[in-house]
Structure 1
């Protein structure tokens, strides 16, 4: 940042504009751009907020800059890292923060681009993407600074370079003459060749008289080397890569010289190959001396007993062939790996004799055609070469041939069977699920994309089934994760058994599976077979468990011809199958896209409503059936939608739960209800419903404590209704809530299957009967069941309240059964808080007898 010269600079319109745009786009009160120095944080631009240099360790941005990923703090007051930060405790009142590091390049963050709000919230995927886009705009401006500094630096460097260039050119000429090294360049567009004076001398030409074109330059190479050099040049041009070679050149006077040349490919600004540049060194004398030395050394080593002993103890097989083609050395490991006859090897055979023996015994059908021809008939290569060969017994050998300077070659044979098996296992594990052995998400997606690409070219159809297990979570929760793993393995086996060979099944993660149907398959028939197979009970170590499966079906090309679209639509069909009863299947229909779009619009409306305060609370009275007085009021949420009018919770709470918006919405209900409670008589409780998503939040007890403190109400004034379906999300938070001193009520008792177990172990003080039980209260045949439920509550020391009372007969039946409280349209409809007052003062005389407690 100091090099860019951006710290402590005046405001700039482009940065301020981004902040204003972010503030409008995300509907937040604050947006700013921070630059983070070693010890301080400095605000480059902002909208809605102003602050000066700040200590780095006292800011959100200190944490955001330490990671490549966004830092999102949904509620700073409940986050121990930030609850004491000045932006949170001060007049700005920041609750929500989202910041992305300003990465000039990977590993080089300069600061952060930040959003903040005064209410807790979350970012959707779309919002996260837009935030990333705006961050990219800021980074682009920073790169403008970097480019300007680089340009100024480059100008200074060029002036210095130009002054030294002429001197360097003279020094280079002298150095090339001393080292016998020259340089060359080939312009690929024009074909023009440039040689330094030293390269001209190597080729027997006068200084300043290079070859006219690349074809003329190649003509100097020995005919046996010319094709190889031309291929290297072509390959370097096509791959835009470097190269090196050693080759012979023939001067015009007939003298043969040996040169070593190294080259690189120069690319233009588009990345296309523009020129080849390299060096050439005359190594004729050096090469002759080195060849003589290597020859003497090789012959010396071949004749020593030490070499023989080393060869016999090698883990590799080794065979040395001289320039005449005679096998001079073959160690025991090579004889064993190649299964060679000792009589043959004892008589110094030719390499061709050994090769004919191998061809007669081994199967080379798996080799490529060119390699098969080389193995059968070709000479030993003149350059190092390595290939793999599988023998009939399954052994895989790595065969490496290294030419000797004197002619002939050394060939090694390495047993790589174990390595190849390990590589195959690693490759399999990277593409398959380790638990079930099924293909994983990556392999499944590759297979789907290949199938759809083939379908786009050749036509046809294919089906995609997305599967989600029903009731699998109950297996994990009740029997443990080991049993859950065993269940998943059994599910995978049953899926395989149902499918045909051309079908592909995969585990995408958790209890999600997918099937790609091959050929002309009946997707519905396959789904029915899968449902039938997976509904059968599974024996999990002596305990029987039963699950089901919901399936969504999408078919190409009818529902799309790209993987993303097909998967999305199969998922929507799966969602419909789950919402319509589970353990069934549904085909994708266009209406599902419309429903998804409607759901998306409703989610956006819900977020806006939460920001703009478009919700209201209505209160329904709860009566004591003994005294006829109101003992509690239940807070019920209503949404004043701008186009749909007033919406009851059933129209939007399921979506709020799915998206997590129910958490900030629930906190608003809690705070508002306790604030309203201050105007109620002290003996009347306020009842608030708690959703499963709220129970998953570790901060729920703290939020309740804070709401009570803000309203100045005692804990006993509040009662939380918790439905049975939400209990699985509670963990140990029910005990923490009970420790606050508030009331807990088991809501919708009788609507599930585990109510008794929950009542015995959880700290409830009240049972609220499901509407179905209250609805049957007027039926003579239901009176026994109702009395039994009430007696259960009495035995456990719990109050029993009935919901949904709508008739006098129901009320009489509930009183006769011994219920202590009731609510419903018969007794009072939900009304705004201001309309409660007339209902609070007088007692109501209920008709009919009431059974006494304990009777």
Structure 2
């Protein structure tokens, strides 16, 4: 039999042995494997040579050396086969290491233990396997030397022995690893020991450096001097370069200190006792250091002094710090005496330890009392008579009376009999006692009062502002809710203020507002509260009980007063005021409701002629709700496509043809039916919707104009809000480009009321080549200056002025207006022509164009065809009003 007993055959039945057994000493085995430090190391030639030799010696295609880790098989070397990472339980080697005996599998495909392994079923196709465990010590196999063949076979006894020899070679190599690890561990231990010693020495050196303390020794028999590195550093010498003799060491001491040092050392030696001194040393570079040295006498066996041993500490910085502290203390004393705050420090026993000059002056304390180091209670009793310390001092008195007590800092203000206001702050000290500071805050209190006044009052007029007005109103209403009564609120909005501000400038506008505030005060009773709540908006809270008669009388005085002209530096301004009035509890018992209803009444006053007042009525709420619903519908109408354009022809009276069509907006409201612009344009202006709506009209009209004959214009009305747009010119340019139309195709009608909104954009539009018409001329106080200054090419007469053409007594006025147009080089077009008599009068007066129901009603663009070729004299269907 071979000297090696092979393991072969299947495992025992399930139930008698674990499916994936592990060695009994698995933890010890893994420790030995990991202790080698070989896992995951690069390939090594001697291990690869063993695999090549085994493959050639046994004439097999595969040979490999594997190490078995906790959960994996790691291949150290191989020949003829390459291994991917392999699970321990999916390899032959996991079985080999279960004992120190080899494992031979003659035919793995027939062996229930191995037939499903990847090595058997995969590309390698291993049928024969032989594995020798790599045993470091009995029972501790860390890996295997393996042979593999693709056909079933077995090894002879000689072959088995040779394979075992090769495994012994591998184990010897592993033992080299083991020896190397042990050697490295021993080297590390020695190095750690040496480093620990060096570390201790370094710590001693560092400790001396940090404490600026070194040690020295003088051998009295030989006179040899030993200095530590820190003593060398103190004297400006290199490490290890200590003084050679006592004389050399003593030579470093300052000449003024050297004799004293020598006498102290001699006395200590004679008496065999310790000594200490503080002295200066002078280094070779001239720097002076201050040191403190302590020494003892070191006796020999006979009791005589054999050596002197001691320490020396560099206290230069400490000495310098003490000098600086003394200087700082002097500076602190000077600061305390000259600081703006008074300061008093009371110790835990209740004694006033510090009281500066400022405290003595602010508190009017007797100097004799303070020089005697009084208790705080004595100071307090002196001040009680002056009514100064009598408040907020209970906690401090308790602390003074009963020793240290945990109190919190506290601050209070106290007015002295002389009117000075002091801020007194007490801060407890950790050791007991307290520090009190006294700050003169008289000026600050006055400034705070001024700031508080400014926060609640309008800076321009001096009237209460919105916040103060609302606080007073809310308090008044709260009282009404508890106790009953009435109160009245007036909301005021100036009429014509913007025109003054724009014409005369903001400085004049500010002066006007100040004058208005003065007149409002003069028109009210003392108990009434006026306030400025916005730019040119004011509000009044009537004092006492309020009723309609009293409120109306107040409103009438205000309207009359603010109607009077105002002299603004030689230029006279005339404005007015519209007023809305609401009462509590009749119109509401909360501030928001009351102000909202007064504002509704104000809105009604403005809409009914201005420079008047109105009392709130329930119908105003309904009107506001209706207006709100209309506003909501208006915001959605453009998105829903509810708007449409109708066009009215504009005739050239001389040529007898249609020269232009004017785009007129119509709203097909889903509930109210068709609405003309009069029903919603003013609301669109107020809500900001006039701008997107106007842009839609412009783009739609220019698209429709593509179908007009050459030379015919399309007329679009421009609202004041559009004229205020910074990008209006760009919008017009883009709309023309999108429709492919020349600027001359477009004429913009600018209403007289919107001309005041112009900020240079009319000139830009004229430069673009767009036609401009001064619309509704004669409807208001038309400015001839504006007509002459602005680049209008056409004047469009208001409907009322056109209607007067049928009256002979108005013929002169109409001829004057058309004559003015000719003189300024402007064409004149009449709007609202409804009768033949009007048309004849307009022709006779010299009008160059006309439009109205007589000549053509507004109609959708598709219905314009019959009108565009008609004669001027063709009578139209007459109506009593125009579009």
TM range (shorter): 0.5 to 0.7
User: Which of 458, 465, 468 in structure 2 is aligned with 1:443?
Assistant: 468
Q: Paired residue for 1:428?
A: 453
Cα–Cα, structure 1 residues 622 and 318, in superposed 2: closer, same or farther, change >3 Å?
A: same
Does the aligned pair in 1 maintain the 2:665–2:677 contact within 8 Å? Answer: yes
Matched, 1:796 2:824: yes
Cα–Cα, structure 1 residues 333 and 693, in superposed 2: closer, same or farther, change >3 Å?
A: same
- Residue pairs, 1:581-592, within 5 angstroms: 581-592=609-620
Q: Paired residue for 1:634?
A: 662
Does the aligned pair in 1 maintain the 2:487–2:541 contact within 8 Å? Answer: yes
Cα–Cα, structure 1 residues 488 and 374, in superposed 2: closer, same or farther, change >3 Å?
A: farther
Q: 1:608 and 1:323 mapped to 2: Cα distance?
A: 78
Q: Paired residue for 2:789?
A: 761
Q: 2:592 and 2:866 mapped to 1: Cα distance?
A: 58
Q: Paired residue for 2:289?
A: none
Cα–Cα, structure 1 residues 539 and 359, in superposed 2: closer, same or farther, change >3 Å?
A: farther
- Residue pairs, 1:100-499, within 5 angstroms: 308-320=333-345, 329-342=354-367, 354-355=379-380, 357-361=382-386, 371=392, 383=407, 384-402=409-427, 409-499=434-524
Cα–Cα, structure 1 residues 323 and 633, in superposed 2: closer, same or farther, change >3 Å?
A: closer
Q: Secondary structure at the match of 2:579?
A: strand
Q: 2:427 and 2:742 mapped to 1: Cα distance?
A: 89
Q: Paired residue for 2:595?
A: 567
Cα–Cα, structure 1 residues 496 and 714, in superposed 2: closer, same or farther, change >3 Å?
A: same
After superposition, give the CA deviation of every residue in 1:578-597 in whole Å (9 maximum; x if it has no partner).
Answer: 11111111122111111111
Cα–Cα, structure 1 residues 308 and 696, in superposed 2: closer, same or farther, change >3 Å?
A: closer
Question: How much has 1:738 moved relative to structure 2?
Answer: 1.4
Q: Secondary structure at the match of 1:494?
A: helix
Question: How much has 1:407 moved relative to structure 2?
Answer: 6.9
Q: Secondary structure at the match of 1:678?
A: helix
Question: How much has 1:329 moved relative to structure 2?
Answer: 4.8
Q: Paired residue for 1:110?
A: none
Q: 1:306 and 1:632 mapped to 2: Cα distance?
A: 94
Cα–Cα, structure 1 residues 499 and 341, in superposed 2: closer, same or farther, change >3 Å?
A: farther
After superposition, give the CA deviation of every residue in 1:399-423 in whole Å (9 maximum; x if it has no partner).
Answer: 1234567876543211122332333
Q: 2:755 and 2:510 mapped to 1: Cα distance?
A: 24
Moved more, 778-787 or 316-325: 316-325
Cα–Cα, structure 1 residues 354 and 741, in superposed 2: closer, same or farther, change >3 Å?
A: same
Cα–Cα, structure 1 residues 639 and 380, in superposed 2: closer, same or farther, change >3 Å?
A: farther
After superposition, give the CA deviation of every residue in 1:514-533 in whole Å (9 maximum; x if it has no partner).
Answer: 22223213332222222222
Q: Secondary structure at the match of 2:806?
A: coil
Matched, 1:777 2:805: yes
Q: 1:380 and 1:439 mapped to 2: Cα distance?
A: 51
Does the aligned pair in 2 maintain the 1:625–1:846 contact within 8 Å? Answer: no
Question: How much has 1:305 moved relative to structure 2?
Answer: 7.0
User: Which of 710, 713, 726 in structure 1 is aligned with 2:738?
Assistant: 710
Matched, 1:509 2:537: no
Q: 1:314 and 1:619 mapped to 2: Cα distance?
A: 86
Matched, 1:644 2:672: yes
Matched, 1:668 2:696: yes
- Residue pairs, 1:783-822, within 5 angstroms: 783-822=811-850
Does the aligned pair in 2 maintain the 1:689–1:721 contact within 8 Å? Answer: yes
Q: Secondary structure at the match of 1:550?
A: strand
Question: How much has 1:306 moved relative to structure 2?
Answer: 6.6
Does the aligned pair in 2 maintain the 1:628–1:846 contact within 8 Å? Answer: no
Moved more, 806-815 or 552-561: 806-815
Cα–Cα, structure 1 residues 708 and 311, in superposed 2: closer, same or farther, change >3 Å?
A: closer
Q: 2:469 and 2:620 mapped to 1: Cα distance?
A: 24
Matched, 1:837 2:865: yes
- Residue pairs, 1:36-47, within 5 angstroms: none
Matched, 1:544 2:572: yes
Question: How much has 1:361 moved relative to structure 2?
Answer: 4.5
Q: Secondary structure at the match of 1:689?
A: strand
Q: 2:384 and 2:805 mapped to 1: Cα distance?
A: 92
Does the aligned pair in 2 maintain the 1:749–1:755 contact within 8 Å? Answer: no
Question: How much has 1:496 moved relative to structure 2?
Answer: 2.7
Q: Paired residue for 1:287?
A: none
Cα–Cα, structure 1 residues 657 and 323, in superposed 2: closer, same or farther, change >3 Å?
A: closer
After superposition, give the CA deviation of every residue in 1:410-457 in whole Å (9 maximum; x if it has no partner).
Answer: 432111223323333333333332222333323333332232222222
Q: 1:718 and 1:405 mapped to 2: Cα distance?
A: 87
Q: Secondary structure at the match of 2:418?
A: coil
Q: Secondary structure at the match of 1:433?
A: coil
Q: Paired residue for 1:748?
A: 776
Q: Secondary structure at the match of 1:636?
A: strand
Does the aligned pair in 2 maintain the 1:769–1:802 contact within 8 Å? Answer: yes
Which structure has the larger Rg?
2
Question: How much has 1:345 moved relative to structure 2?
Answer: 5.3
Q: Paired residue for 2:856?
A: 828
After superposition, give the CA deviation of every residue in 1:85-116 in whole Å (9 maximum; x if it has no partner).
Answer: xxxxxxxxxxxxxxxxxxxxxxxxxxxxxxxx
Q: 2:759 and 2:376 mapped to 1: Cα distance?
A: 76
Cα–Cα, structure 1 residues 377 and 456, in superposed 2: closer, same or farther, change >3 Å?
A: farther
Cα–Cα, structure 1 residues 324 and 667, in superposed 2: closer, same or farther, change >3 Å?
A: closer
Q: 1:617 and 1:407 mapped to 2: Cα distance?
A: 90
User: Which of 756, 764, 768 in structure 2 is aligned with 1:736?
Assistant: 764
User: Which of 584, 608, 618 in structure 2 is aligned with 1:580?
Assistant: 608
Q: Secondary structure at the match of 2:754?
A: helix
Matched, 1:603 2:631: yes
Q: Secondary structure at the match of 1:583?
A: coil
Cα–Cα, structure 1 residues 319 and 700, in superposed 2: closer, same or farther, change >3 Å?
A: closer
Q: Secondary structure at the match of 1:688?
A: strand
Q: 2:346 and 2:637 mapped to 1: Cα distance?
A: 85
Q: 1:768 and 1:834 mapped to 2: Cα distance?
A: 26
Question: How much has 1:490 moved relative to structure 2?
Answer: 2.1
Q: 1:742 and 1:664 mapped to 2: Cα distance?
A: 20
Cα–Cα, structure 1 residues 473 and 340, in superposed 2: closer, same or farther, change >3 Å?
A: same
**Mind listing any 5+ residue stretches in structure 2 that lack a counterpart?**
1-321, 876-883
Q: 2:431 and 2:870 mapped to 1: Cα distance?
A: 118
Q: 2:423 and 2:503 mapped to 1: Cα distance?
A: 53
Question: How much has 1:476 moved relative to structure 2?
Answer: 1.2
Does the aligned pair in 1 maintain the 2:802–2:838 contact within 8 Å? Answer: yes
**RMSD in angstroms over aligned alpha carbons?**
3.2
Does the aligned pair in 1 maintain the 2:349–2:400 contact within 8 Å? Answer: no
Q: 1:720 and 1:533 mapped to 2: Cα distance?
A: 41
Q: 1:487 and 1:702 mapped to 2: Cα distance?
A: 37
Moved more, 396-405 or 533-542: 396-405
Question: How much has 1:601 moved relative to structure 2?
Answer: 1.8
Question: How much has 1:797 moved relative to structure 2?
Answer: 0.9
Cα–Cα, structure 1 residues 542 and 392, in superposed 2: closer, same or farther, change >3 Å?
A: farther
**Mind listing any 5+ residue stretches in structure 1 that lack a counterpart?**
1-296, 848-855
Question: How much has 1:759 moved relative to structure 2?
Answer: 1.4
Q: Secondary structure at the match of 1:487?
A: helix
Does the aligned pair in 1 maintain the 2:653–2:872 contact within 8 Å? Answer: no
Q: 2:846 and 2:331 mapped to 1: Cα distance?
A: 104
Matched, 1:556 2:566: no
Q: 2:431 and 2:854 mapped to 1: Cα distance?
A: 110
Moved more, 528-537 or 736-745: 528-537
